[in-house]
Structure 1
Amino acid sequence: MKLAAELAHYPAARPLNADQVVEYHAARLLLLLHVCGSKGQIHGLTKLAKLDFFVRYPAFFERAAKELDMSLVAGTPVNDSAMVRHHYGPWDPRYYQVLAYLEGRELITVEKEKSAFVFALTNAGVAAAKQLAAAAAYSDIVLHMKNVKAAFGSKSGDWLKKLVYSVFDDEVAKLSRGQVIR
């Protein structure tokens, strides 16, 4: 992945997509904490990854909501990067780099609480997330995130993991670790 500042030296003829840019993923995670979190916090990497999964895969979100008899409709599909099957379900190997990027810029804090990490927006992170949320370019994803929060924001990471494995047996649970979720 590249930082936006490094792109000045990127060859003009070489293809580049947003998926390769750290700030693209950082913006989504800031919004996830702001919109789907509780007071700008998400408890646990598993919960963060599963909420992100439902944001990035709107059709899977709609199926899971129907499975639970919720009448929430999926948002506009986001042209986002795919996740892979990992130990605890959907995962993005870039999380560590992107979360460190956000923490290094003092937009989030990461603290250990018992056996889980707590990801929380700082004051600067809240300001940045509010600015992103107000931008027209993010209106669709913010609306979809509000639905994801309404459905699953109060659930634990473990509960969400079990939901993903039970509802998406063929699409996620039966995949080998590292396989891309389609």
Structure 2
Amino acid sequence: MKSVRALGRTPISLPLSADDITELHAARLLLLFHHCGSGEKIEGLTKLAKLDFFVRYPSFFERAGRYLGKAMSAASDQTESPMVRHHYGPWDKRYYQVLAFLEARGLITVQKRGRAYDFTLTELGQERAKLLSKSQPFAPLIEQMQAVKKLLGRKNGTQLKNIVYEIFDEEVKQRRLGELIK
């Protein structure tokens, strides 16, 4: 993964995907904290990863809605960016890099609470999230985030992990660690 600033040093012959850009993932997480968090905050990496999973995998979100007895329709039918199977379900190995990127720029604070970490938007992070929220290209993503918050926002990380494992046994739970979720 590279920062937009480092792209000038990339040979023009190498293919580049938006999924390789740090700032894209940073923008998505800023929006996730702003639109899915409680008071601009998400408690725990597990909750962060599971909310992000349901934002990035709209078809899985719709199935979760049916499972919970609430018909929800996704804002899109395309997977935003693939995730892998990890110990507690869907995961993105780039979280640590992107969270450090956001914290180093003063956009989030990270606080340890027992064995968990809480992520909160700073004032600057809130300003940037509001600016991103006005950007038309992010509209479908924000619509998806609002639907995810409505259905799942009050659940904690363990509850979300259990929902993922109960509904998506074959797609997630039965995959080997590190295998892409499709």
Q: TM-score, normalised by structure 1?
A: 0.98
Letter of the 2:89 counterpart: G
Shift of 1:78: 4.4
CA distance in 2 between counterparts of 1:128 and 1:11 reads 31
Counterpart contact for 2:57–2:79, Cα < 8 Å:
no
Query: What is the CA RMSD across the aligned residues, in angstroms?
Result: 0.9
Question: Cα deviations across residues 82-102 of structure 1 (Å, max 9, x unaligned)?
Answer: 100000000000000000000
Q: Does 1:37 align with 2:31?
A: no
Counterpart contact for 1:78–1:141, Cα < 8 Å:
no
Runs of at least 5 residues in structure 1 that lack an aligned partner in the other structure = none
CA distance in 1 between counterparts of 2:79 and 2:63 reads 19
Counterpart of 1:122 in structure 2 is 122
Counterpart of 1:156 in structure 2 is 156
Q: Secondary structure at the match of 2:124?
A: helix
Q: Does 1:55 align with 2:55?
A: yes
Shift of 1:71: 2.0
Q: Secondary structure at the match of 1:16?
A: coil
Counterpart contact for 2:83–2:92, Cα < 8 Å:
yes
Question: Cα deviations across residues 110-129 of structure 1 (Å, max 9, x unaligned)?
Answer: 00112210000000000000
Letter of the 2:14 counterpart: R
Counterpart contact for 1:164–1:172, Cα < 8 Å:
yes
Q: Secondary structure at the match of 1:29?
A: helix
Q: TM-score, normalised by structure 2?
A: 0.98
Counterpart contact for 2:54–2:61, Cα < 8 Å:
yes
Q: Secondary structure at the match of 1:112?
A: strand
Identity %: 52
Q: How many residues align?
A: 182
Counterpart contact for 2:84–2:181, Cα < 8 Å:
yes
